[in-house]
Amino acid sequence: MPAPQGFAYTVRGDEVVITHHGVRAGTLRGRRAEEFLAQVESGDAQLLMARLTGQYRHGNERDARRHPRNAG
């Protein structure tokens, strides 16, 4: 799976606003915003933002389950 792209974040006071290709995808406040900022320092920021906004699943999981390679 290709790595997520196009995510950015800005800190506004005690809020973290996450955008995807310039469109607001989510806002974090309080403890979640603090945890996000700590995790961004130590991990992959693009993947973290994709997971928090729900943009890392696109509906192909069901098709992949039926693929012959994944048949059990």
Q: For the chain, give the number of residues.
A: 72
- Model-level pTM greater than 0.75? no
Average pLDDT over residues 24-51: 90
pLDDT digits 0-9 by tens, 4-37: 688 999 999 999 999 988 989 999 999 999 999 9
The CA distances from residue 52 to 15, 21, 22, 24, 59, in Å, are 14, 16, 16, 13, 17
> Is residue 54 very low, low, confident or very high in pLDDT (cuts 50, 70, 90)?
confident
> Is residue 51 very low, low, confident or very high in pLDDT (cuts 50, 70, 90)?
confident
The DSSP-derived string for 13-38 is TTEEEEEETTEEEEEEEHHHHHHHHH
Q: Which helix (H) or strand (E) holds 7?
A: strand 7-12
